[in-house]
Structures are given as C-alpha cells and as structure tokens.
Structure 1
C-alpha cells in the first residue's frame, strides 16, 4: 500500500507497487492496467501522481500506451551482456528461446572501399552481403546485415544462413573466432525495416556495429544490426580502477 508518511515520493511508491504486480506475474504482458481514475481511488492519491508513476514505467519499458485503448503491460526486454562474443542463435538458446532467421537479401559482389579497408581485402576480392531478420520465439527482434570475405568463408548458402553462421564457420571451416569490437548508438528505424520489425515508422532502435576477428587477427566480418529498443537491452559490468 501507499504510505503517505513515508519520505519516498508517492509516485515512486506507486511505481514499485505496479512493478511488483508485474514481477510476481499478477499482471502479465498484454494485460491492461487499471485506469488512472481507478488507481487514484484505490490508492487515495491524485491522478497527477498516478500519471507520473505510469509515465515513468512507460519510459522504463514496463508499460506501453495505446491511444484510445489504455495502458498495458509490456513484454520484458531481452538482455545481452556486452562482455562476451556470442552469436544471436547462441544468445537466444541461452535464454531457452527458439532462435530463427528469415533471409531478406543474399548477394556476392566486389567489396566497396569502406568494406575492403575494414576487412583488409585486395582489389576485386568478393564479399557476401547477408541481410537477415532475426527472430526469438517467432517474434522479430533485429535486422542484421553482415559482410564477410568469400575467400575466407567459402561455401555459404541460403540454407546455412537459416541456422547459425558462426557454427558453420567454426565447425565446418574450422576457423577460430577470437574477438570483436562493437559500438552501440540510438537511431530511428527507417520505413523498410519498420515493416520487418513490426514497429511503427520513426520509433527508436538500437544501432549496433560489430567488427569480428579470428584468433590470428584476420578480419572476419562486419555486422550492422538494428535492434528493437522496446525488446532488447545491453548490460556491461564496470570495475573501478
């Protein structure tokens, strides 16, 4: 209940009450939250206080609003650590989720200057351009565009791309993947990607670029991914030096 004599703000106390009902699964994803009027009457607090608590929970991803319909419980975000190098397939399996891929584009062509320089290729060397929609339990999570040297990773086919590309590289080609550098920034989804990700045009996404290397330092791939910001978050541990 709300303690009006507590030093904690009333809106924060209501936030915690609502979060408890979500975390205890009294309310599950898709459930409607009681109206502002109902919450105001139930907790004997102002509607302005209720509105502030709900807005904070919307901003934190616990709730989402639908115009003219109300406020609902969000599906919880998938969390990925930035401290280990895993494939999307490995990441989903570790969460007991069913990974999936839909191939959107597959092409072999000579690398342009930027890609050629990043992958340390000679003139006219060929690369794969692979664009896939990545799924978790059949829900679209990300769009991933990969660039790999054909000479280094021969034999890639659309059938292989329906599964784990990393597994093919390590188990079939016997290459050892070593490390990667990765950047994450905020962006706005474009119209084409919004259709594949099943989000509204112009909503925020997480734009991630990764450059992956073999254990011997040879550049393996460049990956540019657009992740749904409402379904994915990244975590990193930081130590004080």
Structure 2
C-alpha cells in the first residue's frame, strides 16, 4: 500500500489510501482513525509524514480533529453545483438519496411589505407560508420557510404542500418554471435552528434566500433556508473573463 521507491511522495500515498478507505466505507463516518504512532509503525514511516497526510485530509474535509479525543472521519457532505435549477427533492433523487420533509406549519395570511416586494405582489395579498425540515435518507439537511402567492399557485393544502412544489406547479398547474436568483451567506445556528437540524447551537450553517420565477418572469416562490454546513456544500465552476 505504501511504495517507498515510488516517485509519488509517501504522504500523498497515505492520503490516497485513507481516501479509498473512507470512500469505500471501510472507515465509516464518525469512526476514529488510528493514531499517528500506529500509522507510523504499521507503514514504517515517520510520524511527520503521517501528520502531513492527516493535516491535508483535514483541510480537504475528509477528517476532523476533536481536541482531547483524536481524529475522526468527517460526515460526507452533499455537493450542489450552482448551475442549473433543481428542487431539493430532484437534487436528492439524482444522488440516489431518499428525500422527505417534516411539515412544521402551513398557513395562509396577508403578505407583509418586504415579502410582497420580493414576490412583486401587493402588500396584504394572500400568501402560503410553509415551514418544513428537509431530510435526505432521514437526516435533517435544511430548515426551510417558503412564501408562495395564493393567486399564482392555487390549490395548495397542508396535505399536498409536503410534496415537491416544482412538480406540483409543472404537472398539476401546467406552468413552466424558468430560473431563480439565490443569495448564500455563512452564519451560526440559533437554538431553534439547531433543534430542527439535530445539531448544537452555534454550529455553522448556510443561510440561503432563493426567489424562483415562472417562464414569464413572474416570481412564484420566496424560500429562506438554513442548511447544515457539515452536510451540505455548494460548488461553482468559473471561467476566466478575458479582457477585451
């Protein structure tokens, strides 16, 4: 597993070995890995080399250190590219995961001034306010509050609001969804958010605000979500803009 005569640095060989152990499931999430001394003795390499490999894997997110306890396999994060527009349900299904939602509340009430501005409706126009926890394979991923104009999306009830909203709009109402604008910022979990997401208060989260639009440019949904930062990350491919 470690070839000392290879031109590939030993620390990199150890990194790849550990990655393979993690990705294959031999080293499970939250499992403790052997100590630096144990690795050094097993592979007959220096502890400094082992430390370099482990440090790199911590930086890459494969491992995490817990003071006084040791080094553990980190939870695998779900990646979502910031290209294309999919619902949470579609995104989880595409990864072979089972999406589900826990409905916290379903209300119909007049829109406040800020919500009305975001949705380009008149203050006091009726909106659905749907609060739910989004899960993947039973694990809480996000705490979500959606605001939807009643006149644009008629027929939503507490019973059917827990399915994919995009599917309901496209299949039941025959409307075409076009695009969305999205803002992301880092924050820490409040007591309420932590309870819903099964994490500790003060742990990092990603706050995401998304406005989704129909093909005619009409906004039909404002969603405010708190995503677990330890389970979710967003990626974006960029091309260098050439100067003219």
SS of match in other structure, 1:161: coil
Q: 1:2 to 1:70 in 2, by over 3 A?
A: farther
Inter-partner Cα distance in structure 1 for 2:13 and 2:202: 33
* 1:138-173 Cα deviation digits (max 9, x unpaired): 111111111111111122112112211111111112
Inter-partner Cα distance in structure 2 for 1:100 and 1:107: 20
Q: 1:33 to 1:161 in 2, by over 3 A?
A: same
**Residue of structure 2 equivalent to 1:166:** 166
Measured after TM superposition, the shift of residue 73 of structure 1 is 2.1
Measured after TM superposition, the shift of residue 47 of structure 1 is 4.2
Measured after TM superposition, the shift of residue 59 of structure 1 is 3.8
> Do 2:99 and 2:135's aligned partners in 1 also have CA atoms closer than 8 Å?
yes
TM-score by length of 1: 0.88
1:134-149 → structure 2 map (5 Å cutoff): 134-149=134-149
Inter-partner Cα distance in structure 2 for 1:192 and 1:51: 38
SS of match in other structure, 2:184: strand
**Residue of structure 2 equivalent to 1:112:** 112
Structure 2 alignment gaps of length 5 or more: none
Measured after TM superposition, the shift of residue 13 of structure 1 is 4.7
**Residue of structure 2 equivalent to 1:29:** 29
Measured after TM superposition, the shift of residue 97 of structure 1 is 1.1
Inter-partner Cα distance in structure 2 for 1:52 and 1:128: 53
* 1:115-154 Cα deviation digits (max 9, x unpaired): 1111111132111211110011111111111111111112
Q: 1:107 to 1:55 in 2, by over 3 A?
A: farther
Inter-partner Cα distance in structure 2 for 1:185 and 1:3: 45
> Do 1:144 and 1:223's aligned partners in 2 also have CA atoms closer than 8 Å?
yes
- Count of aligned pairs: 240
Inter-partner Cα distance in structure 1 for 2:4 and 2:227: 40
> Do 1:149 and 1:220's aligned partners in 2 also have CA atoms closer than 8 Å?
yes
Inter-partner Cα distance in structure 1 for 2:119 and 2:185: 22
SS of match in other structure, 1:224: strand
Q: 1:200 to 1:47 in 2, by over 3 A?
A: farther
The RMSD of aligned alpha carbons is: 2.3
Inter-partner Cα distance in structure 2 for 1:235 and 1:135: 20
Q: 1:18 to 1:2 in 2, by over 3 A?
A: farther
1:96-111 → structure 2 map (5 Å cutoff): 96-111=96-111
